[in-house]
């Protein structure tokens, strides 16, 4: 299995369909969508995932006035890959509503982060990550034994907070304000957040800003100093240290590497 591309936090107000290409595509919709199945218009009510096969003709539109929000992975499969996917009993070419996208979202973010500094085992990592997504989706379809909402207090609010962090990474997130809105202590908040997502809130804020920075390094001509400021950093040197610590290279090295790969 070869990953062609992965793009997170996409938004659009028009239809998403044939322009995605001929290769299979995995979509994680973070907002309700409208689609047609057997000539009937259908709607999803919340988060859903769709595995689109090669040669699909399906298209999706926002269900309502808000833009459609989604993550997308394009990939190529071998005969063995297709047999494996088929064995997971995942419906294809139609959205499947899922109660919780925590695992799948985490894997997607890891894939995008890993693609920023391609190591020796990059291809193997990406293939295994996609297989983990298929497993998580299959488990989600079967239904968890106990939902996160039942196990973790304030889970719905914590999940909404986490989604907001990745949607608005430049915001100056205040733990004190968050705890005040949730009516809980800082210590309890940190314990709940880690229990829910396996990382701290601060780690998610950092990761969201670095993903935003990587996107700007790839798609703009802004200087490193400008990008640092646009991503919520007061200090360029601190931004550079964090980028290298978490991504394995400096922002300038990352931009140079990406430009070289594109050429």
Residues 214 and 124 in one domain: no
Residues 124 and 216 in one domain: no
Q: Distance from CA of residue 88 to its chain's centroid?
A: 22
Q: Specify the number of domains making up the chain.
A: 2
Report DSSP state, residue 31. Answer: S
Q: What is the pLDDT of residue 92?
A: 83
Same domain, 80 and 181: no
CATH code, 61: 2.60.120.280
Dig out the tokens for 142 from the structure: 């079967």
Question: How much is the pLDDT for 189?
Answer: 94
Query: 12 φ, ψ to 5°?
Result: -160, 155
Whether residues 11 and 131 share a domain: the answer is yes
Boundary-marking domain end, from 126, 142, 158 = 142
* Token duo for residue 230: 């646009």
What CATH number corresponds to the domain at position 168?
1.10.10.60
From CA 65, how far away is CA 13, in angstroms rounded?
8
Domain hosting residue 25, numbered range: 2-142
Q: What is the pLDDT of residue 115?
A: 80
Do 194 and 259 fall within a single domain?
A: yes
Number of Cβ within 10 Å of residue 233's Cβ equals: 19
User: Could you report the average pLDDT of every consecutive run of 10 residues in the chain (263 residues)?
Assistant: 89 78 87 85 89 77 89 88 82 84 89 79 89 88 64 88 90 92 92 89 92 91 93 91 88 88 70
Last residue of a domain, one of 142, 170, 189: 142
Do 127 and 185 belong together in one domain?
no
| Measured CA distances, 13 to 33, 47, 132 (Å) | 11, 17, 30
The CA–CA distances, whole Å, from 65 to 27, 41, 187 equal 20, 17, 39
């Amino acid at each position: 299995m070869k990953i062609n591309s992965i793009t997170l936090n996409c938004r659009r107000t028009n239809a998403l369909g044939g322009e995605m290409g001929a290769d299979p595509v995995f979509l994680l919709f973070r907002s309700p969508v409208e689609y047609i199945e057997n000539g009937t218009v259908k709607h999803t009510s919340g988060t859903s995932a769709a595995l689109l096969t090669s040669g699909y003709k399906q298209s999706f539109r926002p269900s309502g006035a808000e833009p459609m929000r989604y993550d997308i992975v394009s990939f190529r499969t071998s005969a063995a890959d297709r047999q494996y996917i088929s064995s997971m009993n995942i419906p294809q070419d139609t959205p499947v509503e899922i109660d919780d996208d925590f695992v799948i979202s985490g894997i997607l973010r890891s894939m995008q982060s890993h693609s920023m500094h391609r190591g020796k085992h990059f291809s193997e990592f990406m293939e295994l990550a996609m297989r983990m997504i298929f497993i998580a989706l299959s488990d989600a379809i079967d239904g968890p034994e106990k939902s996160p909402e039942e196990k973790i207090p304030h889970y719905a609010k914590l999940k909404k907070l986490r989604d907001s962090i990745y949607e608005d990474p430049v915001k100056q997130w205040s733990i004190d304000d968050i705890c005040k809105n949730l009516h809980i202590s800082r210590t309890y908040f940190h314990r709940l957040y880690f229990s829910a997502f396996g990382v701290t809130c601060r780690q998610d804020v950092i990761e969201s800003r670095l993903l935003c920075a990587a996107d700007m390094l790839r798609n703009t001509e802004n200087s490193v100093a400008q990008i640092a400021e646009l991503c919520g950093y007061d200090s360029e040197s601190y931004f550079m240290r964090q980028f290298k610590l978490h991504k394995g290279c400096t922002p300038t090295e990352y931009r140079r590497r990406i430009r070289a790969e594109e050429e």
